[in-house]
Amino acid sequence: MSGHVTERQPITIVIDAMGGDHAPEEVVAAACALSLEAPGDHAAGSKSTSGKSSGDKHATEKPDERRDGSEPLHLLLVGDAPRLHGLLMKQRYDAERIAIHHASQVITMDESPREALEQKPDSSIAVAARLCAEGRASALVSAGNTGAAVLSCLQHWKRLPGIRRCALAAVYPTEVRRGEKDDPFSLILDVGATLDVTAEDLVSFAVMGSAYASRISKNPRPKVALLSNGAEAGKGPKEVVAAHAQLRQLRGIHFIGNVEGVDIPRGVADVVVCSGFVGNVVLKMLEGVSETVVRLAHYAYKEKLMWRAGLAMLSGGIGKLKDLTDWKQYGGAPLLGFDHLLIKAHGRSQAQAIQNAIKVAKKGISSGLLVEMERGLREAEALRTKTEEGNQ
Amino acid sequence: MSGHVTERQPITIVIDAMGGDHAPEEVVAAACALSLEAPGDHAAGSKSTSGKSSGDKHATEKPDERRDGSEPLHLLLVGDAPRLHGLLMKQRYDAERIAIHHASQVITMDESPREALEQKPDSSIAVAARLCAEGRASALVSAGNTGAAVLSCLQHWKRLPGIRRCALAAVYPTEVRRGEKDDPFSLILDVGATLDVTAEDLVSFAVMGSAYASRISKNPRPKVALLSNGAEAGKGPKEVVAAHAQLRQLRGIHFIGNVEGVDIPRGVADVVVCSGFVGNVVLKMLEGVSETVVRLAHYAYKEKLMWRAGLAMLSGGIGKLKDLTDWKQYGGAPLLGFDHLLIKAHGRSQAQAIQNAIKVAKKGISSGLLVEMERGLREAEALRTKTEEGNQ
């Protein structure tokens, strides 16, 4: 990583090189490929180091600064240094853009997160989260154990002002397209980081989800909705009803009210806000959706020859439908609510998916996502204070 | 209705004749058709009356008695008596099986339930619920306003012992078939009657859902699961974790543990237990499932000619897939937790769907569903008392 502050300050992203089913090989391959293709020139005067860099002097990353996207990208690979070096030796990469930071332990996909983190303080994910907290990087990318990644951030990162609980967000495909890039995805949060939520949590998720959609999907005014059991303002558990009342007064986001289950696949909202428990159930249902319909179709129409033929002709595509409904293919799930950004790539990610996750992380930082979230959260907080004073 | 107790006591079901988009015409048509086709001989010595019967002497219905399914069926139509009489006049029916009870008011589909019930104490649904409570009938069928139907039962019916909150259950189609009749449906509850639940509520829903599946689908040992965000016993909000611990100890039901969102369409469990809020979201997502996949398929494959052709061939079937995923087509949703049974048919129900709902109601009563639920609830209660004593 760069030891000098340059005119165009590089963005450093720390990578949990040992996390995921195909780690560290595919992770290193992704880093190498990105080091060669990343946009922008290399920062003049930057100096490459590889090997342990924990003692290096370094420029402190400021994750809350808005940049223009053409900053050089620096990657800090965390994991078994000799092994990572060995992998780097085998391929082409830009040595000025990749550094290695040693971590002696690894948390596997099936370990219980809490116990694993207690027993392995030097695990790659814990070390990676600490490096961010120390200002060495703006964002973290991991394809490892999701629970361990979220817990590491919880243990080492600061929450944004006004945030009580964090949210893991996920994208899922819809027919409706949105934003500058015609994204066919909606964002849903939380999908599992915070199972039980208060009205204030839901409001902060709405604010953060809106900021994420506007920055990452370049959708300038994303439609934000609360998931409930009816469209009316009074529908839902008390925290949803209370959040609805608060969201209606926020000017910084485009709140369209409540949506119901049937509106999720339709893509009525760009950002769907719910508790982590509900979001997890919804997301997993979406993952199984194509599988289900094939089964239903077989059941309903097994005796109708033309439908059978149609189904057979579609069957080649049905497998790919599953990929389409697999949100994990698309850059990974952001963890929102902290002063740094975690992009959690799917455990099965190969080099291309990891590259996507790193690009999303960079885009989040260079587009000023964290600043935007802070702005929205301040507005929500101010509104709450005003309402409380009004009630006294 | 019968004024004499006979050897084979008839089952009386009260029908909200004014509820639903096609009421009262389709409701009366359903009653007339059923009066002619219902199984079993007419009870000897029964006497038919039509018109207002509120002053009649009548045999008190005992909903908790197990019968053999061949009991005569008596239907008590509640609503605008002159109008109902007029409709009866126009068709064939068995006058010994149908009676009319006047109610001067009607609650429409889009009225707010609470206010409507306050303003219309003589609405057909409120009167129908009261007639059950007075022992005039064992079960109630309505295709009207769901909220008003549930609230009427809440206001007039007694809860079964051990029940704090009631549950509305729904069936949805799965590939897996189950029970004596090879039913391709799973049951999910609650789907909206109780938005927030305690562990005890979830346990009672599991017991009642199991009883319903065993009696109505004739599935002697239905697999009951809790919906959570992971398969492990410790996954989920605290009420789900606590319910899991209690359900593992219940011998009366076949508890298979937690299922996740992806397991819902798969049909892994015969009975899926969750809060009314989560169940409502899940059910509405299932309703939109075929619509979504068609959209996704168009998006993904619009340039592939063969897939297009396949989709076109399927398109005739796709509309019917929507029917298949429409749980409301299948006899309606039972409201469980009371000393009587409500079957809530869909608002769009026509005569055939209303007939199905009435048949399910009769089957519930004749199969001893309420007795079975009480038995299970007693076991759950005893277990809870034992555990509490053990903890002291």
A229-277 tens-digit pLDDT: 999 999 999 999 999 999 999 999 999 999 999 898 878 999 999 999 9
Put simply, whether A174 touches B (Cβ < 8 Å) is yes
As a whole number of angstroms, the distance between CA B178 and CA A80 comes to 52
Q: Do B299 and A324 touch (CB under 8 A)?
A: yes
Q: Is the pTM above the cut of 0.90?
A: no
What does DSSP say about strands B73-79 and B167-178: parallel, antiparallel, or unpaired? unpaired
CB A377 within 8 A of CB A162: yes
Other Cβ atoms less than 10 A from the Cβ of A304: the count is: 16
Q: Which of B110, B264, B285, B311 to mutate to test the interface with A (most CBs of A within 10 A)?
A: B285
Q: Do A307 and B314 touch (CB under 8 A)?
A: yes
- At residue B358, φ and ψ (nearest 5 deg) are -65, -40
- The tokens of B9 are what? 């006591």
CB B70 within 8 A of CB B10: no
Q: Which of B293, B306, B308, B328 to mutate to test the interface with A (most CBs of A within 10 A)?
A: B293
As a whole number of angstroms, the distance between CA B298 and CA B192 comes to 33
- The tokens of A221 are what? 């005014």
CB B97 within 8 A of CB B75: yes
Q: How far is CA A215 from CA A139, A166, A344, in A?
A: 15, 19, 18
- At residue A182, φ and ψ (nearest 5 deg) are 55, 45
Q: Do A229 and B262 touch (CB under 8 A)?
A: no
Q: How far is CA A301 from CA B183, B294, B324, in A?
A: 16, 16, 11
Q: Please, what is the Cα angle at B198 between B331 and B239, to 5 degrees?
A: 110
Nearest to B301 by CA among A327, A308, A292, A315: A315
Q: Do A184 and B301 touch (CB under 8 A)?
A: no
Using CA coordinates, name the residue in chain B closest to A259: B281
CB B315 within 8 A of CB B112: no
Q: Where do the DSSP E strands lie in A23-166?
A: 73-79, 98-102, 139-142
As a whole number of angstroms, the distance between CA B281 and CA A181 comes to 30
What pLDDT sits at residue A233?
92
Instruction: State how far residue B213 is from chain A, nearest Cα, in angstroms.
Output: 21
Helix axes B305-324, A305-324, angle to 10 degrees: 100
Put simply, whether A305 touches B (Cβ < 8 Å) is no
As a whole number of angstroms, the distance between CA A207 and CA B112 comes to 31
As a whole number of angstroms, the distance between CA B196 and CA B378 comes to 23
Tens digits of per-residue pLDDT, A55-96?
Answer: 344 445 555 445 566 789 999 999 999 999 999 999 999 999
CB A166 within 8 A of CB A204: no
Please report residues of B whose CB lies closer than 8 A to that of A320. 300-301
Q: Which of B239, B307, B311, B318 to mutate to test the interface with A (most CBs of A within 10 A)?
A: B307
Chain A neighbours among B 186-225 (CB < 8 Å)? 192, 195-196
Q: Do A316 and B307 touch (CB under 8 A)?
A: yes
Instruction: Give me the total of CB pairs closer than 8 Å, taking one residue from chain A and one from chain B.
Output: 192
- The tokens of A351 are what? 């080099």
Helix axes A238-247, A369-391, angle to 10 degrees: 100
Higher pLDDT, A161 or B177: A161
User: Residues 6 or more apart from B190 whose CB is under 8 A from it?
Assistant: B166, B167, B168, B169, B197, B205, B274, B275, B276, B279
- SS3 labels along B86-134: HHHHCCCCCCCCEEEEECCECCCCCCCHHHHHHHCCCEHHHHHHHHHHC
Task: Report ipTM (2 d.p.).
Answer: 0.81
Task: Give the pLDDT band (50/70/90) at residue A324.
Answer: very low
Going across the sheet that includes A139-142, the strands are: A98-102, A73-79, A11-16, A139-142, A341-344, A333-336, A167-178, A183-189, A271-273, A223-227, A254-259
Question: Could you give the percent of chain A with pLDDT greater than 70?
Answer: 76
What pLDDT sits at residue B266?
79
Instruction: State how far residue A264 is from chain B, nearest Cα, in angstroms.
Output: 7
As a whole number of angstroms, the distance between CA B177 and CA B219 comes to 10
- At residue A111, φ and ψ (nearest 5 deg) are -75, 150
Nearest to A223 by CA among A247, A243, A202: A247
CB A318 within 8 A of CB B311: no
What pLDDT sits at residue A323?
47
Q: Is the pLDDT of residue A332 over 90?
A: no
Tens digits of per-residue pLDDT, A189-229?
Answer: 999 999 999 999 999 999 999 999 999 888 889 999 999 99
As a whole number of angstroms, the distance between CA B389 and CA B170 comes to 36
Using CA coordinates, name the residue in chain B closest to A184: B299
Task: Give the pLDDT band (50/70/90) at residue A298.
Answer: low
Using CA coordinates, name the residue in chain A closest to B282: A261
Residue in A196, A237, A310 nearest the CB of B277:
A237
CB B224 within 8 A of CB B253: yes
Q: How far is CA A169 from CA A188, A284, A390, B95, B390, in A?
A: 6, 13, 33, 61, 42
Q: Where do the DSSP E strands lie in chain B?
A: 11-16, 73-79, 98-102, 139-142, 167-178, 183-189, 223-227, 254-259, 271-273, 333-336, 341-344
Q: Do B266 and A292 touch (CB under 8 A)?
A: yes
Nearest to B98 by CA among B37, B151, B55: B37
- Chain-centroid distance of CA A186 in Å reads 13
* Dihedral (Cα; B300, B304, B308, B311), 10-degree rounding: -50
Q: How far is CA B141 from CA B1, B225, B333, in A?
A: 17, 28, 10
Q: Do B289 and A265 touch (CB under 8 A)?
A: yes
Residue in B192, B312, B321 nearest the CB of A297:
B321
Higher pLDDT, B313 or A291: A291
As a whole number of angstroms, the distance between CA B199 and CA B204 comes to 9
As a whole number of angstroms, the distance between CA B223 and CA B221 comes to 6
Using CA coordinates, name the residue in chain A closest to B268: A292
Q: Is the pLDDT of residue A119 over 70?
A: yes
What is the three-class DSSP state of A16?
strand
Other Cβ atoms less than 10 A from the Cβ of B39: the count is: 12
Higher pLDDT, A122 or A346: A122
Question: Could you give the percent of chain A with pLDDT greater than 90?
Answer: 61
Residues of chain B with pLDDT under 70: 1-8, 38-69, 175-184, 288-331, 392
Please report residues of A whose CB lies closer than 8 A to that of B170. none
